[in-house]
Amino acid sequence: MKRILILLITTICILDIPKAQVLKSPDGNLSLSFFTNKEGFPFYKLDYKDKAIIKESRLGFDFVQSLPLYKGFTITNVENTSLDYTWEPVLGEQKAIRDNHNEMCITLLQKETQRELLIRFRLFDDGLGFRYEFPIQKALRHFIIKEELTEFNLAKDYKAFWLPGDYDTNEFPTTTSNISQIAGLIDEVRKEPLAAKTPAPNLVIQTPLMLKSADGLYVNIHEAALINYPAMHLEVDDRKFILKSHLTPDIRGYKGYIQTGTVSPWRTIVVSDDARDILASKLILNLNEPCKLEDTSWIKPVKYVGVWWEYFTGIGSTWAYSDNQDIIIGKTDYSKLKPNGKHGANTEHVKEYIDFAAKNWFEAVLVEGWN
């Protein structure tokens, strides 16, 4: 399905690696730098057209009942790769998508524990993706993540388009404010009357996070290839303008049960001075895993109508079958509930939708909340 046009690989071995490793995007507008400081803490930074987008930001992990994986590192290997190829998605706005990026994979060795950690960076013309890779090794087999310490150290007090951090819902309305104003607004925003809410502790917001600078730069922070790993929110330092990864925990507060031979999701930063480029970016699609289905001929786009939209158009339809608010699952006798006459997804009304769809060449009817 994919046709590789260009593949260049260069490996730099241990002997004399410069302090800062630099990677450029294919068009040269984006520049990534990676280095470790005297204590062996790994850092990265990202510039766009000579403007700082992400200042020096930490990387690494804190583990449960194990020495942390964020300090005492030395760089033992750097591998650079350039790829330019075109692939065809199963569905989407475009028949073909170009994946043109430069890659740098850093191998880090923690001297004290002899544990290895790889960090792979891919720099596209419209942004950066990077992920952690945990190779199979004697010194590390299984571990529990206490915290992922990935930082996004912003260069300024961006205007942010944000949702409050919540482990159950992303249906909050988008709030627009500077990063420095989030703390003063988030408690009120969390009062939105939603059916299920589990607020993240502290000052945490959701991804994707859209940002705009006063001088017209647009930045979007998100993730790609989220597989067998907790979703990422962002913890906000509203004074220093630093965002830090906040992974969704389990009931014990642990953030991930990981076995070596696996990788983290990609952390993504899309950058442009034109907001339309953010929407048009295919960076996340290029970083997602390719389709594993051998036969996709049965997947076809369809045009459909849906009862669901009635609930938001002001014509009086609702989700609820009854106005009784004292429903107890497993105990309430639904046959005795008095219908309120406003529930949209009922059999008679759905039949009307089916007839309408058939008459007007719609191929499907979507029904949510059918009672």
pLDDT of residue 14: 39
**What is the pLDDT of the chain when averaged over all its residues?**
91
Q: Give the amino acid at 316.
A: G
In the structure, what pLDDT confidence band is assigned to residue 16 with cuts at 50, 70 and 90?
Answer: very low
- pLDDT > 90? residue 161: yes
**CA–CA dist 260, 266 (Å, integer):** 17
- pLDDT > 70? residue 53: yes
**Domain range summary for the chain, segments of one domain joined by +:** 3-287, 304-366
In the structure, what pLDDT confidence band is assigned to residue 8 with cuts at 50, 70 and 90?
Answer: very low
At residue 283, the 3 state secondary structure works out as helix
Strand partners, 178: 159
In the structure, what pLDDT confidence band is assigned to residue 141 with cuts at 50, 70 and 90?
Answer: very high
In the structure, what pLDDT confidence band is assigned to residue 371 with cuts at 50, 70 and 90?
Answer: low
The C-alpha torsion from 145 through 147 and 149 to 152, rounded to 10°, is 120
334: its two tokens: 């639904």
- pLDDT > 80? residue 44: yes
**Mean predicted confidence (pLDDT) in 39-44:** 97
- pLDDT > 70? residue 6: no
- pLDDT > 50? residue 9: no
Total-model pTM: 0.87
Domain range 3-287, CATH class: mainly beta
Label residue 274 exposed, middle or buried (CB < 10 Å: 0-12, 13-18, 19+): exposed
In the structure, what pLDDT confidence band is assigned to residue 236 with cuts at 50, 70 and 90?
Answer: very high
